[in-house]
Each structure stands twice: as C-alpha cells, then as structure tokens.
Amino acid sequence: MQAATSMDSTVTDLGHELRRTHLRAMLNGRLLEERLRSLYRQGLIHGGVYLGFGQEAFSAAGGCCLQKGDVFAPLIRDMAGRLAFGETVEEVLRTYLGKRSGAMRGRDGNIHRGSLEQGILPMISHLGAMLPTAAGILLARRLRGASGSVGLAAIGDGAMACGATHEALNAVAVHRLPLVVMVANNGYSYSSPNSCAFACDDLVQRAEGYGIPGHHCDATDPKAALATMAGAITAARETGQAQLVVGKLLRLCGHGEHDDGAYMDAAQREAARDCLSFGPEQAVADGILAAGEWDQWRQVITTTIDTALATVEAEPDAEPAQEDWQAWSESWPGLEAAP
C-alpha cells in the first residue's frame, strides 16, 4: 500500500510572490467578512452569515495553489480561498445582497454560491456530497483525454464523520483521481468538540486506510499552511493521486453570526493564534513584507470593498415577477398544462 503520511510538513521553497499572494488573500477574506458581519448586523443580508475567521491561512493556501481550470469545492469558511481562486468581491456581494445579477440570482444564498464556468462548485448543505461531485468532474476530464487539472474539496472535522465523505475518499483512491481533500479541523462540529466527532488521534491517520498520501499542518501558521497545501496540490497534479490534508486551527467566531460560540472552551479560545495577526509578523521577519505594507494593503482592500458595495447595492434585487419558476431545463409536454 502506498500511504505516505507526512507529519508537520517542513516549509519548502515557497516563492516570494506566492507568499505575498497568500497573505493578501488572507487579508482580502478577513476584511470582506468583517464587512459582511457589519451588513448582517444592519439587517441588510438575507439568510445566514458564516465566517472563516481563523481559517484564512489554510483556505487561502488552497486557493492560491490552484490553477485556472482546476476545480474548487469550498466550504462555508472559504472566503479567502475563493478570492484567491478568482472570485471577485462584486460576485460575493451580489449573492449576499440577494441581487438578480448574482450567480445564484436569489435562488440560493451566500455560502452556496458558485460558478461552474469558474470551477467553483455551488455547494449543497450536505458538504460531503461535494467530494464525489468534484471527483466526477475529474473523471469526465480523464475520459475526454484532458489531463493536468486537479480538484480541491474543502470540508471540516464535522464532514469527516459523514458517509458521503467516506464513499468519496474511497472512490477517488480506487479510481486514482487527483482530488485534494482539505480538512479544516477547527475544533468544533457546530457546537460539538472533537471528542464528539472522532476517536482517532488525528484525522490524517485515515489517509492510510484509504491508501492515499496524508499531510497535516498547524493551519494557524501561514507559511506552514501554504507549504503543506502547495505540496499536496503539486503531488496530486504530478502523480494523479488523491491527497488528504488536515489543518489544525481554531474557529475564532461562532458557527454563524447567529451563534456566539459560548460553548467553546474559554482557555482554548484565549490561547488561540490568529493567523491574521501572526501572518504579517512572520512575513516581515522573513523579509516577505515591508514594514507598513500590511496597513497599505488594508487600505486598498477596504477601498475595493467600498467601491464594489456601492456598485452592487445599486443592482436590482431578485423578484418573483422576473422568475420563470422552471425547475427543468427542458420543456416537457406535461409541464405545459401545469396550473
């Protein structure tokens, strides 16, 4: 069996630009989500808001290491990864504000947004279901003789317990499909701690059972997260083999904005490292970022969000009269007589 499990991947040669792109994507994600939190509290967002606070380093690492033409099935805390993979701030806001111009046209909301043209899968809530879907796209490409692209499917420690995830991990191993499954172990499946979710020491141990390489990292360390994801995605692309990556971190917010996370362990929360604080310190120390540059980025990104918000707010909302209320793509004879 081939099941090399690399523990605590060492930081390899990450390019200067990749490190900067990664950091910037982290900041993009955090600042846009802070704005979403504000809009939510103003009552301007329909439906729930789920934030990726604390997960930006891991998420952005996945998004940064993908290439155009790859497939990304994000989870609810992947704003940073989505932006890194090419989603625009306007596209995000259109969905959160229920605009007809958005990818989901008001038919589905917020974290469910996606664009098949961009390779971002619009998730259904049963997150494990997205793993075989990403794998199916890779299978289709192989059948058509198109190679070179990889899939990245993001789940949490919670989805590692569902049957769909197991079926998919086994299937991608059996069919040898280059799907990277990145598991953000953020400590909680909604309110339930890890002790309620799994009984093994580390979720990465499961890779050996599936016969695929496993990787794990401290995902609060941007450099380590980037190195680990870069290694896993490169391995998938070069070998065609699925990879399992487990990033350890702590969710720095409630499950959603409706949830204060009061059930979380206070000492654990107090001691948690925020990748958005550590990241720029680490980058300055490594000579990746100039002093003051982080604040300049912050200003530029904030202006970008302000501009995008002004544009999107002026766009028309979804409204019933504009809908065709048609669930089928074809005009079936039986539908024409429907009441």
Asked whether position 129 contacts other proteins by CB under 8 A, the answer is: yes
For residue 108, give every residue at least 6 positions away whose Cβ sits within 8 Å of its Cβ, in sequence order, or none.
Answer: 122
Q: How far is the CB of 206 from other proteins (least distance, A)?
A: 16
Q: How far is the CB of 308 from other proteins (least distance, A)?
A: 22
For residue 70, give every residue at least 6 positions away whose Cβ sits within 8 Å of its Cβ, in sequence order, or none.
Answer: 85, 119, 149, 150, 151, 152
Of the residues 138, 264, 276, 305, which one makes contact with other proteins according to CB under 8 A = 138
Of the residues 174, 196, 290, 310, which one makes contact with other proteins according to CB under 8 A = 174
Stretch that binds other proteins, among 37-45, 274-282, 300-308, 321-329 (CB under 8 A): 321-329
Cα 8 from Cα 225, distance rounded (Å): 10
The encoded tokens of residue 283 equal 């980058």
Cα 45 from Cα 162, distance rounded (Å): 30
Asked whether position 326 contacts other proteins by CB under 8 A, the answer is: yes
| Three-class secondary structure of residue 264 per DSSP | coil
Count the neighbouring beta carbons within 10 Å of the beta carbon of residue 171.
Answer: 18
Asked whether position 68 contacts other proteins by CB under 8 A, the answer is: no
Asked whether position 332 contacts other proteins by CB under 8 A, the answer is: yes
Which strands make up the sheet holding 214-218, listed edge to edge? 5-6, 214-218, 243-248, 179-185, 151-156, 71-73
Count the neighbouring beta carbons within 10 Å of the beta carbon of residue 48.
Answer: 15
Q: How far is the CB of 14 from other proteins (least distance, A)?
A: 31
Q: How far is the CB of 12 from other proteins (least distance, A)?
A: 31
Mark out the alpha helices in the chain (DSSP H runs): 16-41, 56-65, 79-85, 89-96, 130-143, 163-174, 194-197, 206-210, 222-239, 266-271, 275-285, 293-313, 333-336
Stretch that binds other proteins, among 28-36, 166-174, 215-223, 266-274 (CB under 8 A): 166-174
Q: Which is nearer to other proteins, 111 or 305 (CB)?
A: 111
Q: Which is nearer to other proteins, 29 or 151 (CB)?
A: 151
Q: How far is the CB of 36 from other proteins (least distance, A)?
A: 21
Cα 119 from Cα 137, distance rounded (Å): 10
Q: Which is nearer to other proteins, 104 or 197 (CB)?
A: 104
Tell whether the torsion through CA atoms of 58, 194, 34 and 221 is positive or negative.
negative
Asked whether position 320 contacts other proteins by CB under 8 A, the answer is: no
Of the residues 11, 14, 44, 164, which one makes contact with other proteins according to CB under 8 A = 164
Q: Which is nearer to other proteins, 201 or 330 (CB)?
A: 330
Check: CB of residue 97 under 8 Å from CB of residue 45: yes
Footprint of other proteins on 91-120 (CB under 8 A): 103-105, 107-108, 112, 114, 116
Asked whether position 279 contacts other proteins by CB under 8 A, the answer is: no
Asked whether position 206 contacts other proteins by CB under 8 A, the answer is: no
Asked whether position 67 contacts other proteins by CB under 8 A, the answer is: no
Asked whether position 136 contacts other proteins by CB under 8 A, the answer is: yes
Binding site for other proteins (CB under 8 A): 103-105, 107-108, 112, 114, 116, 121-122, 124-126, 128-141, 143-144, 163-164, 167-168, 170-171, 174-175, 326-330, 332-335, 337-339
